[in-house]
Structures are given as C-alpha cells and as structure tokens.
Amino acid sequence: MKNRVLFSLKVSFSITILTVSSLTLLLLLLSGCNSSSSQNNKPNILFIAVDDLRPELGCYGSTAIKSPNIDKLAGEGMVFTRAYCQSAVCNPSRASLLTGMRPDSIRVWDLRTDFRDNVPDIVTLPQYFKQNGYESVAIGKIYHNNIPDTLSWSEPKMYLDDYPFDPDAVYRDEKILEEIEKRKEAILKAGKEKRYIDRFGKWYIKQYATEGPDVPDNAYFDGAQTDAAIQKLKELKEGEKPFFFAIGYYRPHLPFNVPKKYWDMYDRNKIPLADNQFIPKNAPLMAINNLRELRSYTDFKQAKHPAYGSLTEEQARLLRHGYFASVSYVDAQIGRLMDSMEKMGLRDNTIVILWGDHGWKLGEHNSWCKMTNYEIDTRVPLIISTPDMKNTGKKSAALVEFVDIYPSLCELAGLPLPSDLQGTSFVPLLDNPDRPWKKAVFSQFLREGVWIAPDGIEYMGYSIRTDRFRYVEWINWETKELAAKELYDHETDPQENENIVDNPQYAGYVQTLAGQLKAGWRKAIPAQD
C-alpha cells in the first residue's frame, strides 16, 4: 500500500513538472511570437519634407494654387493651421525639428553650423527610431544640403548619381546650359579657381531664377528621387523591421525649374499678386529680408533692398508663377508616392507627416524668400495622418511648433519620450483639435551683419506668437543690448503691416509679452489632463 502511494505521488509529481514545463515553454513561445508581432505591428513613418513650402495650398484655403494630392492627404489626416518653425531659414529650422531642441540650445542660427559640432552626442529623431528597432533611411533634403548627419540613418543617405549633391541649381534648357558653360569659361579666364563653381565634383552654377522646358518629371531631382523612393518602399516592405523613411523635396526652393506642363497649369496674368506690397510701417531695418537669396540669380542680381525699391509687376508675376508651378510639381510627386503606398498595402500601418521647413514671401512686405520673424515666414504647413485617426479631414488652430514633432511621433509609435526634448507632443489634439493648448510659440532669426545696411551689426530677433499678438525683440548679438522692438495685433492686422509697439494704447500688452518672451517656452506648455 505504501509503495503504491509513493508510486502515485511520483507519477503525479512528474505529470505536474511536465505540465508546468510545457506551460512555461508555451508561454515563452507565445511571448516570442508576441514580441515579434509587436515589432512588426509598430507603425511605419513616412516623413515628407518640402523645402520653402509655405501654407499656400488648397487645404489651407488657397483658391489660386493646385495641390490636389496634398489636399487629399489632408483629408485623410489633420491640418494644423497655426504651426510655426523655430527659425525661418533651412539649416536652423531643420536642425531644431530633427533634434527636438530650440536653436539657442543647439547653437545653430545660420546655414553653416553643423549641430554635431556643438552637441555631438545628441540623438536625432530618425536616429532615435533607429535605436528603437526601425530601419531609418532617407533620400533628398532632410537636414541642410551639406550637413546630412550620417549618424541618423541605418544606411548611407541616398543620392542620385546623375545629380549634384545639392540639386537646387539643375537646368535642362539647352540655351541656358550654353550660357552656363560660357559663364564657367569666363570665371576660369578671370583667374578664379574651379572650386568657385565646382560643388562635390559636379560643375553647376546658378543662372536664372526660373526654367520650364518640356521634359518629363524625372528630368529634375524631385521626380527622379520619387522614382527611387517608390523602389525603396518596395524594399522596405519586404524588410523585417518597421521603417522611418524620410523624403525631402527640393522644390519649391529657388530656382523654380520644373517641367513645362506645370507652368501650363496657370495663367500668369490671372495669378493674384500680394496685396501688401510694402514693408511694415515703423518696422526696424533689421526686420526686413534684403533679398540676398534672390539676388544670387543673374536675372535678379539688381534687385534692391525692399526698403529702397521693388520688383516690377512682370518680375513679380514670373516668380509667383514659378512658385505655383513648383508646388504643383512637388504635389504630383507626393501623389505618386502616396498611390504607391496604397498599392503596396503600406498605407494602413503608416503614419504620414508632411511639413515645409518655413514660410516664404511672394511679394508680401515688398519682399521675397524667407529669413524674417514675420508670420509669412514663420508659419508653416504641417499635416499628419495616422492609421487610426478619428478626426480625418479636421483642422486644428492650436499653436504648435516644429519642436513638437519629435515627441509626437514617438508617442504615436509607442516609444518612450527622451527627457531632453523641448517640445510638447500634440497627440492630444488629434483626438480633440479644439482643446486648450499652448499659450505661445517661439521663433528667432539671426540677421547677419555682412548682409544688412547701414551699420553692419549682427542682430538676433526673438519672436513670441500668442493667440492675438506677435512681439519681437531685436538684440545686438555682440553686446546683447536691446536694439529694437515690434508688435503686431492679429485681431486688427493679420498681415502684420504696422508695427504698433510705440502706440501707448498697447503699452500694457508690450510689458506682458516682454515678460512672456523672457519666461520662454516652458511657461507656455499646455496643461496636461
């Protein structure tokens, strides 16, 4: 009897061990499956940057421009109608967005500084996704042209062999190409070295501000890179990792060189001109863009500072026509990209975000290009579409900033937020676009002394944009002394046409806004639920 009981206990114990072991093995297998499944179910990120794209789009209320594909994306997502960059020029804006840090924190204020020189160990947005199991790849202009930041990507940044490193100045018209060759010869005959016109092994030179030959879309970089991007999407789809795919379009950056068919979409004589073709009344001189970018093209090298002269109506119409054609050209490429995403079955698990790095003047304030602290330059397009978006086709007028993109994408992808980010995730706005949000957003611009007259001093302009006002303080960058102030009331002056900082009726507002500007972005953070 005793032996029989012992045998029973041994059998029972053995079965128990077997059952527990089997269960443990099963749980481990399930855990592994769940881990793999979780990794595969992470959303992809399609990160679309468009150079110099201002909110001149159908989804932003423009009736003059043709942007059906971006408008379609907006209908599938959310449009932020009051989004702002941290600095209205390429390198500082992009470096700030991609690091989640403000320009003063990374000390990037110009087109020359590599943020890695100042903050070498900072983890960028695509780099953070790479560290968290994503295949992080890019093509086109994501960072500034000559500062690509290889640490951000899983593989070397993609360029096209038939294009220069910086394809801004690619021309296809035969007459223009002949003129460029003559200019090159003249430069060499004048005794200047080849390096003056040789960029990264490709001879090219800025000639005219516009071009419209009858060529296919992929004759220019943006069309060719879309071909390459679609092929890359096929590879990424077959990969084992979720992807962070950044695609940077060059148009509508100058020169406005796009195929003829996009010029033909518009009647130049019917394109509306800016209705505030004058510099803001009482504006300090350092606040005005001096057109240095536009003057680098031979047909506009005689353009005067906006305080001292204007373009002709013919020139203004040409540039507006070229800008509109360029936007429609890029819009078509984005349409091809999104159609390919749909056909590949990638759309349902991909977060798509589209942004333009800053605004752009098209005759407003008697100016052209970017490089100011005004609304026309700091306000940017920002559109996001997520797979599970509840409020498709909605708009949010909440104040948001480019530094908010980094934490927002992390939250949407289920990644923990790095502790040093200086933005606020706008994900709560996707569920409730009208909820109370930031009290203010902040931008800045360094007016470099060599480019302004008459004093040649460098000034930093610090701007705060609240629901009603824009307030700016210009600081002597060397002495740190206050040099000038600006105030614009958007209730009465949405185009910022008159600086009213010295109007005694606004003295109280100036004092309050000066305090808010000094307190900075931390005091403007929205209350959390």
Active site residues: 90, 144
Distance of alpha carbon 292 from the chain centroid: 22
CA distance 57 to 379: 13
Residue type, 436: P
Cα torsion 76, 80, 81, 87 to 10°: value is -130
> d(Cα 35, Cα 266) in Å, to the nearest integer?
53
- CA-wise closest residue to 395 among 406, 384, 404: 384
**Residue 312 token pair:** 């002709």
Beta carbons within 8 Å of 67's beta carbon, 6+ residues apart: 57, 58, 59, 327, 328, 331
- At 174, give phi and psi (nearest 5°): -65, -40
Angle separating helix axes 313-343 and 221-238, nearest 10 degrees: 20
Q: Which strand ranges, in their side-by-side order, compose the sheet holding 350-356? A: 135-140, 243-249, 44-50, 350-356, 382-385, 78-80, 394-396
How does strand 135-140 pair with strand 243-249? parallel
